[in-house]
Structure 1
């Protein structure tokens, strides 16, 4: 008689995400001594389930502005 071993492993669900890159061109003219920049557009996206997971600078036309990487679970 041959016995086949079985493993009772839990089922793993793989999370799937969608991503969005948001340039914050309106932040490029800020000076260091100005009040904190509050990008309302990001707050609106956060209410829609988006989470900021990265920040970088986008360069172009001799200027640089922040670019935010967002993700949220695929619905």
Structure 2
């Protein structure tokens, strides 16, 4: 499956590095992104046009597990 189909025009890929794309349904996916700017909050979980920002990957993983009832696989970075 081509996960890049879940990306959209206007997604700020200069500011955020896409670390993982996790399909949820046929037309939607969770994007796990890391900010390239070290002075900014470092992690973002994007889903259905809403961004949630976290200071650490651990915080993001806990949020994902609570809201999507699934565990994240560890991202190697």
TM-score (norm 2): 0.32
- Larger CA Rg, structure 1 vs 2: 1
More helix by share: 2
